[in-house]
Amino acid sequence: MPVSREIHLVRRPEGMPSPKDFALVEASAPDARDGEVLVQNLYMSVDPAMRPRLTAGQALNEAMMGGALGRVAQSRSDAFAVGDLVSNRQGFREYFVSDGKGLTKLNPDPDLPLTVHMHALGMTGFTAYGGLLFIGQLKEGEQVFVSTAAGAVGSVAAQIAKIKDCYVVGSTGAEDKAAWLRGEVGLDAVINYKETPIRQALEEATPKGLDVYFDNVGGDHLEAALRRMNTLGRIPVCGMISGYNSGQSPVRNLSNIIYSRVMLRGFVGTDFMHLYGDFQRDMAAWLKAGRVKYQETVLQGIAEAPAALIGLMEGRNSGKMLVKLAD
């Protein structure tokens, strides 16, 4: 029986999470019983949406939950063979036993790196795709703003909008990320909100207003966007990271949605699963053609998982933040 190290939440963070909120615990992975498989996780993902669950939802003193990619190490199930790759929600641990529920077999694209299935070609990219095209009803040539545009979701959303011939403004909080968005990605305008106040910068960057704002931030970014929305504009709300650690991010000009008849809609990827096939086909093609670029920050070993989550909140990642757990 292998030792499975796992990360527990031992204290609910107040404000920014700290290493003391987490503990590394050693457990023994049990053997698979009839109908079960033992999975070894290879990579796990950390995501901004995990922060609210630390305050409520995630149980204390248990292995935390999160997206991961694993390989079947033992199988007593007809549905899985040893060596199968499986997407799962059992991150933050090295091994786990499953009856197969919640496991999705992955057939990786041989022409793409494996990790891309954990971001641009996985639920991260799908969240951007459906959020922009289905929730946001993006039309070709529109005026678009994406916040945290260098992030895992934001960078995909911004590039899909470019593929759809839109004018695209992205915001980020670091000069190296801004440089990547300007140079490598080629957005029409890039805002470093730590250098220029977002309200002023967005006004200058959007002479034709905004038809779609893909919101990952809330708070001051949403206020700035609400001032620029064109009639019948759409705001797919993917996240509001500005309030995740501070607890409150007031929005004072929400009444603008009346005058411009704007829609805001919160969503998660499972709201548009009927598009998953289209997404996989489109995204694989865009990645291979170099039309969607990405960055990854990969920390090494389960012990780094808390640091990955904290680093993500502090913006210390470039693109998708992953933790590699095994080869």
Distances, alpha carbon 237 to alpha carbons 14, 40, 147, 212, in Å:
24, 34, 11, 11
- Please identify which residue in 108, 209, 243, 315 interacts with its own copies, judged by CB under 8 A: 243
Q: Which is nearer to its own copies, 53 or 324 (CB)?
A: 53
Q: Which is nearer to its own copies, 73 or 275 (CB)?
A: 275
Q: Which is nearer to its own copies, 219 or 306 (CB)?
A: 219
- Please identify which residue in 10, 16, 81, 268 interacts with its own copies, judged by CB under 8 A: 268
Which amino acid is residue 165, in one-letter code? Answer: D
Using the rule CB under 8 A, is 136 a contact of its own copies?
no
Place of tokens 């793409």: 112
Q: Which is nearer to its own copies, 196 or 249 (CB)?
A: 249
Using the rule CB under 8 A, is 262 a contact of its own copies?
yes
- Rounded Cα distance between 193 and 199, Å, is 9
Q: Which is nearer to its own copies, 27 or 263 (CB)?
A: 263
Using the rule CB under 8 A, is 182 a contact of its own copies?
no
Contact window for its own copies (CB under 8 A) among 18-26, 63-71, 246-254, 305-313: 246-254
Nearest to 234 by CA among 263, 205, 257: 263
Contact window for its own copies (CB under 8 A) among 1-9, 80-88, 182-190, 250-258: 250-258
CB of 276 to its own copies, least distance (A): 17
DSSP symbols for 132-152: IIIIS---TT-EEEESSTTSH
CB 248, CB 279: distance < 8 Å: no
CB 39, CB 86: distance < 8 Å: yes
Residue 204: CB atoms within 10 Å = 12
- Rounded Cα distance between 205 and 190, Å, is 8
- Please identify which residue in 13, 125, 239, 306 interacts with its own copies, judged by CB under 8 A: 239
CB of 130 to its own copies, least distance (A): 12
Instruction: Please give the angle made by the CA atoms of 220, 223 and 228, to the nearest 5 degrees.
Output: 130
Distance of CA 223 to the CA centre of its chain: 22
Q: What binding mask, one character per residue, do residues 37-76 give for its own copies by CB under 8 A, x or -?
A: ------------x--x------------------------
Number of residues that bind its own copies (CB under 8 A): 30
Interface with its own copies by CB under 8 A: which residues? Answer: 49, 52, 218, 222, 237-240, 243, 248-252, 254-268, 271
